[in-house]
Chain A
């Protein structure tokens, strides 16, 4: 619950329905303030300004323990890497990118040496990957794997980076190496992910079914992850009801997981279930990916809140641009196309995004923008990629056909 709006925007202890209404109205006021950002002095001392992770959160206590260990042994690689991974994992599940920077600060002293220890370089590659610096992450991983060819984590991370980049040959090689280094289970999940992408979704689904229950000792996050993969794969096979069941089951294993919320939310929007999408992400307004789902759902439902939330999202993108970051190119292209109906601007971003990211969602927004802008030829790189890779997805195939049908 770290990412609720400040209490002065919502009103956390009221009953549900008035709470929703108040949230709609009050957050409008908040956001109007956000744009001109006028400093003010709160009226009372007990006004809650900001939620932060409380000490009662076991993960926060784990940070404290690890921080103390790092302070006690400043040069110890293992302790530092453990703290860095604790931050990375927390940032992942909450979507709070600040934790990537905190993780980076922990390993930075070790990164200054000519050849950083392998666990440090792996943590660094994971941070780069999370910040969408895929080329840099890949270079780092390839260097690490030359030094330590048995690093399962190295091969796994390389496989996922290669999949995002659309380099399925490299991903396949990494999956094979992973199976050698870590055993069949890992290799199977890796291969299934890849098969789901390169046009063999039924095969991928069958593979995943075999390992759907990894046993009682497996952490809930693993189960949530496999269920999420099955959901994506089922959707790719054109079986939305099956996909829906897997999404729900994934969220039972990892409630509030930021990635799953956005993924499921986008799925619901595709299914025309905007009201459900809105309910799904209602508690996660601070996350940009969840907020994008919320804005699109509101627009589809014709809710009056859509206008004010669109302005808020514009402001969030503007803030990201001010820092010089462009980590959200695909999301921004999506937003420009479906909310602002600015196909030309969306196409420009989708084109830029395609240079680094080639997942099905990246292909889709590129095709949609090219068609909407009346420039189907601009999407030629996607057509070529789909033909070469065998990528197949009910959200993409009709668009590919449409582009091909254009003169």
Chain B
């Protein structure tokens, strides 16, 4: 009866597919009150979701609001896992904020409300990469609309064209520079490993090692030492930061993060069992190369036209400098004032360095071997 079954093909000769094929509607708009967030709404047909992940729990042919609510998490995981939003190449995280439904011309759609939280202020170029349902319906299309103030861009995304971009605003080099500058400052202030490394190198700057530690006589002696250390650190981390962000160097992040932990450990131990003192700036320079790769992780994927790239990368580097200078400026006068005290030499230099070494060892073990030390992670953020 095979021949008869094939007969059916003819019946279709002049027939049409009487329904629209599968679409979903995705809208992203900037929020004038919050420069880090894009507000998103994604309408996906219940029929499609039912086919993809199952919504009609009791299989009675009726999808109820209760059944959809029960599958909220699965719907969000499925959908948002097939969407990437990038601002200037930097990945924005997608956070679901609500669930609703919506009527379209071909049936009821589930509505996923979400925020795209972009690391930066409103990026100059927003890119959406859409891969929903490609494996189960190649004719599915994502009808994407991007709104930035008065600008709008739209596209129908499918397997042959999965990405769309919108230039969100006119180039604003100064704005880019300052916004990345602020990011750079925060990056070093919130990066406790960078701070501990710097402090470990700075502790002995107000002392001289002869037999034991002897306080330096003049402030400028200490200051010169500090300037050498900080400059060496800045120069080296700027080099690797630029190379990594521009894509010339790529080192796996596990290696970089372990290297940073190791640098903190070595710098702290050097204060307890001094190996290098006069040339602490060399240590700063060598390990600064590793720290620069760590800074670059904040900008992984950054894609900008050359002018904007220079402004952004420059802003970030300067921000990191300002952040670390601020730490140095706060540290140096206090250290100089306290340098003759027992508290400074025993308490800070010796026990402080031991503490830092212990923390750094914990980080190193966690990062290098990709394990979690339970007692440690409670005490210290990774």
Instruction: Give A residues with C-beta under 8 Å from B.
Output: 2-3, 6-7, 30, 33-34, 37-42, 44-57, 89, 91-92, 95-98, 100-102, 104-105, 108, 126, 129-132, 152-153, 156-157, 159-161, 163-164, 182-183, 185-186, 189-190, 193, 217-219, 221-222, 224-225, 228, 258-259, 262, 286-290, 312, 315-316, 319-320, 322-325, 327-328, 331, 359, 361
A45 touching B66, Cβ below 8 Å: yes
Out of A218, A315, A331, which one reaches B4, CB within 8 Å? A218
A319 touching B20, Cβ below 8 Å: yes
B11 touching A50, Cβ below 8 Å: no
Query: Given the known A-B contacts A37-B104, A316-B105, are A159 and B21 also in contact in the complex, defined by CB atoms under 8 Å?
Result: no
Out of A46, A56, A182, A287, which one reaches B65, CB within 8 Å? A46
In the complex, which residues 23-51 of chain B have their Cβ closer than 8 Å to any Cβ of chain A?
23, 25, 41, 43, 46-48, 50-51
Query: Which residues on A sit within 8 Å (CB–CB) of B6?
Result: 152-153, 156, 182
Chain A CB within 8 A of B150 CB: no
B12 touching A39, Cβ below 8 Å: no
Q: Can you list 17 residue pairs at the A/B interface with Cβ under 8 Å?
A: A37-B102, A47-B65, A48-B62, A52-B50, A52-B61, A54-B60, A54-B62, A97-B21, A98-B48, A104-B137, A130-B15, A156-B6, A182-B6, A228-B11, A258-B18, A331-B16, A361-B14
Q: What 16 additional pairs, Cβ within 8 angstroms, besides A50-B107, A153-B6? A: A52-B50, A54-B59, A55-B61, A95-B16, A95-B17, A95-B19, A96-B18, A100-B17, A159-B10, A193-B13, A225-B7, A225-B11, A288-B16, A288-B19, A315-B105, A324-B141
A49 touching B64, Cβ below 8 Å: yes
In the complex, which residues 234-292 of chain B have their Cβ closer than 8 Å to any Cβ of chain A?
none
In the complex, which residues 119-174 of chain B have their Cβ closer than 8 Å to any Cβ of chain A?
135-141, 143, 154, 156
Q: Distance in Å from the Cβ of B58 to the closest Cβ of chain A?
A: 9
Query: Given the known A-B contacts A49-B108, A164-B14, A319-B23, are A102 and B113 also in contact in the complex, defined by CB atoms under 8 Å?
Result: no
B100 touching A41, Cβ below 8 Å: yes
Q: Distance in Å from the Cβ of A309 to the closest Cβ of chain B?
A: 12
- State A46–B9 Cα separation when bound (angstroms): 41
- State A348–B144 Cα separation when bound (angstroms): 28
Q: Distance in Å from the Cβ of A281 to the closest Cβ of chain B?
A: 11
Chain A CB within 8 A of B56 CB: yes
A105 touching B135, Cβ below 8 Å: yes
A50 touching B46, Cβ below 8 Å: yes
B21 touching A259, Cβ below 8 Å: no
B139 touching A101, Cβ below 8 Å: yes
A287 touching B14, Cβ below 8 Å: no
- State A102–B136 Cα separation when bound (angstroms): 6
Is chain B's interface secondary structure helix, strand, loop, or mixed overall? mixed
- State A328–B106 Cα separation when bound (angstroms): 15
A49 touching B106, Cβ below 8 Å: no
- State A123–B127 Cα separation when bound (angstroms): 36
B9 touching A53, Cβ below 8 Å: no
Chain A CB within 8 A of B358 CB: no
Query: Given the known A-B contacts A56-B61, A131-B17, are A49 and B101 also in contact in the complex, defined by CB atoms under 8 Å?
Result: yes
Chain A CB within 8 A of B370 CB: no
A42 touching B107, Cβ below 8 Å: no
- Name A35's closest neighbour in chain B (CB-CB): B105
Out of A7, A50, A286, A331, which one reaches B19, CB within 8 Å? A286
Out of A56, A57, A160, A323, which one reaches B156, CB within 8 Å? A323
Q: Distance in Å from the Cβ of A213 to the closest Cβ of chain B?
A: 14
Chain A CB within 8 A of B371 CB: no
Q: Distance in Å from the Cβ of A285 to the closest Cβ of chain B?
A: 11
- State A198–B304 Cα separation when bound (angstroms): 62
- State A222–B137 Cα separation when bound (angstroms): 29
A156 touching B10, Cβ below 8 Å: yes
- State A44–B15 Cα separation when bound (angstroms): 40
- State A41–B69 Cα separation when bound (angstroms): 10
- Name A92's closest neighbour in chain B (CB-CB): B12
Q: Distance in Å from the Cβ of A221 to the closest Cβ of chain B?
A: 6
Instruction: Give B residues with C-beta under 8 Å from A.
Output: 1, 3-23, 25, 41, 43, 46-48, 50-51, 56, 59-66, 68-69, 99-108, 111, 113, 135-141, 143, 154, 156
Query: Which residues on A sit within 8 Å (CB–CB) of B60?
Result: 54-55
B105 touching A101, Cβ below 8 Å: no
Q: Distance in Å from the Cβ of B105 to the closest Cβ of chain A?
A: 4
Most A Cβ at <10 Å: residue of B3, B8, B22 = B8
Out of B21, B50, B156, which one reaches A101, CB within 8 Å? B21
For the complex of A and B, the 4 pairs showing the least CB-CB separation, nearest first, are A54-B61, A95-B18, A45-B66, A101-B137
A222 touching B4, Cβ below 8 Å: yes
Q: Distance in Å from the Cβ of A71 to the closest Cβ of chain B?
A: 13
Query: Given the known A-B contacts A39-B102, A319-B106, are A98 and B18 also in contact in the complex, defined by CB atoms under 8 Å?
Result: no
Most B Cβ at <10 Å: residue of A102, A104, A159, A324 = A102
Out of A129, A193, A262, which one reaches B18, CB within 8 Å? A262
Most A Cβ at <10 Å: residue of B11, B111, B156 = B11
B12 touching A52, Cβ below 8 Å: no
Query: Which residues on B sit within 8 Å (CB–CB) of A152?
Result: 3, 6
Q: Distance in Å from the Cβ of B160 to the closest Cβ of chain A?
A: 11
Query: Which residues on B sit within 8 Å (CB–CB) of A315?
Result: 105
B22 touching A98, Cβ below 8 Å: yes
- State A312–B137 Cα separation when bound (angstroms): 26
Out of B46, B64, B102, which one reaches A38, CB within 8 Å? B102
- Name A321's closest neighbour in chain B (CB-CB): B156
- State A193–B10 Cα separation when bound (angstroms): 9
Query: Which residues on B sit within 8 Å (CB–CB) of A286?
Result: 19, 106-107
B51 touching A102, Cβ below 8 Å: yes
- Name A12's closest neighbour in chain B (CB-CB): B62
Query: Which residues on A sit within 8 Å (CB–CB) of B68?
Result: 49
Query: Which residues on B sit within 8 Å (CB–CB) of A129?
Result: 9, 12
- State A190–B3 Cα separation when bound (angstroms): 13
Q: Distance in Å from the Cβ of A267 to the closest Cβ of chain B?
A: 13
A49 touching B10, Cβ below 8 Å: no
Query: Which residues on A sit within 8 Å (CB–CB) of B20?
Result: 97, 288, 316, 319-320, 323, 325
Query: Given the known A-B contacts A97-B18, A101-B21, A132-B16, are A46 and B66 also in contact in the complex, defined by CB atoms under 8 Å?
Result: yes
Query: Which residues on A sit within 8 Å (CB–CB) of B108?
Result: 6, 49-50
- State A54–B140 Cα separation when bound (angstroms): 23
Q: Distance in Å from the Cβ of B185 to the closest Cβ of chain A?
A: 40
Out of B51, B63, B65, B104, which one reaches A319, CB within 8 Å? B104
- State A14–B370 Cα separation when bound (angstroms): 63
Q: Distance in Å from the Cβ of B114 to the closest Cβ of chain A?
A: 12
- State A98–B18 Cα separation when bound (angstroms): 10
Query: Which residues on A sit within 8 Å (CB–CB) of B100?
Result: 39-41
Query: Given the known A-B contacts A41-B100, A189-B10, are A182 and B43 also in contact in the complex, defined by CB atoms under 8 Å?
Result: no
A39 touching B41, Cβ below 8 Å: yes
- Name B3's closest neighbour in chain A (CB-CB): A182
B65 touching A50, Cβ below 8 Å: no
- State A57–B18 Cα separation when bound (angstroms): 21
Query: Which residues on B sit within 8 Å (CB–CB) of A126?
Result: 9, 12
Query: Which residues on A sit within 8 Å (CB–CB) of B111?
Result: 39
- State A39–B101 Cα separation when bound (angstroms): 5
